[in-house]
Amino acid sequence: MTKADLVDTVASEIELTKRQAGQIVDLILDEIKTALQKGDRVALTPFGSFVVRSRKAREGRNPKTGEKIKIAARKVPAFVAGRSLREAVNGAARKKKKAR
């Protein structure tokens, strides 16, 4: 699913124009991004949570030359699936296996 697909679904489900639905989707994504930039956790119960994780500095290698390089510490966004999402995904996988 792409952002455009999501906008189309929102527009048709709540009878909005695609432009209005696009603005809503953009607003939601911007709010999530802003919260993560502040270091906040975004919990969308029961779907899941967006969090910021810290990665330590480490040593890596250039795959072309094999030369050692330093990889700086950084923060990375992560998503932790909620129980209902995990169950929905796993339940769908089990149903596919049974259908075969």
| Per-residue pLDDT in tens (0 to 9) along the chain, 100 residues | 999 999 999 999 999 999 999 999 999 999 999 999 999 999 999 999 999 999 999 999 999 999 999 999 999 999 999 999 999 999 865 555 555 5
Residues near 81 by beta carbon (within 8 Å), at least 6 away in sequence: 47, 48, 89
Farthest CA pair distance, the chain: 57
> Contact, 77 vs 48, CB < 8 A?
no
Query: Any idea which fold 44-100 has?
Result: HU Protein; Chain A (4.10.520)
Q: Tokens 């990375």 map to which residue?
A: 76
CA dist., res. 21 & res. 13, Å (int): 10
In percent, the amount of the chain with pLDDT more than 90 equals: 90
Which sequence spans correspond to the domains of the chain? 1-40, 44-100
- pLDDT at residue 91, as a whole number: 84
